Amino acid sequence: MLIRTLIGCASMVLASITQAQPSMPMKIEAFTVEAPCNEVNTEVDHCVIWVTVTGSGPTCTVTVDAGQELVTMARSRGKMIFWMLTPESLKARYRFTADGVTFKNDRDRNFKAARVLQGGEAYRWKNGGKAPRVFEYTIKVAIDGEDLECQSEDPWIRNRV
């Protein structure tokens, strides 16, 4: 009986992990997003960075998925980067703010066309690919209908040479 219970619990955990994020490719607006942004998928035209919000109130934390803290992209113009809140974060009523993803060191305006999408469930920037350097950014979300904002640690995007 104990083994059957443990197997049942393990199945539920695996099911929740596999359902955590939609499968790829996925459609966001008119774009087909082929893969997660990471060190492996550097040549895709459009990619997604998964954002998780944990905690609540003034102790909430915003993180990107493991392997997405530093994203490397081929330096070509017009790649769309999408940030998507995980289903758990959406269930907790978190949404991106109007300035949901802000680049700290983009003095050359490499990134353009920032936009909140799908009622705050996603955020988008177009990578202009002008500069071969690393860009630091922050992520801001808020609980839908409340003034509380959560801010991320500082992840990075690198345009390679």
**Per residue of the chain (161 residues), what is the pLDDT tens digit?**
434 333 333 333 333 333 356 677 888 887 888 788 877 777 777 889 999 999 877 778 898 887 778 787 776 667 888 999 999 999 999 999 999 999 888 877 888 889 999 999 999 998 887 778 888 888 999 987 776 778 776 677 777 65
Q: What is the pLDDT of residue 37?
A: 83
Using CA atoms, how far residue 51 sits from 56, 152, 160, in Å, is 15, 9, 23
Number of H helices, E strands in the chain: 2, 13
Taking phi over 0 as left and psi of -120 to 50 as alpha, with beta for the rest, 19 belongs to: alpha
pTM for this prediction = 0.78
- The pair of structure tokens assigned to 2 is 């104990």
- Longest Cα–Cα distance of the chain, Å, equals 64
Our CA dihedral for 100, 53, 75, 40, rounded to 10 degrees, sits at -170
Of 139, 116, 3, the residue nearest 63 (C-alpha) = 139
CA–CA separation, 102 vs 118, rounded Å? 18
- Judged by DSSP in three states, 112 sits in strand
CA–CA separation, 50 vs 85, rounded Å? 6
120 φ, ψ (degrees, to nearest 5): 95, 0
CA–CA separation, 17 vs 143, rounded Å? 24
Q: What is the pLDDT of residue 22?
A: 66
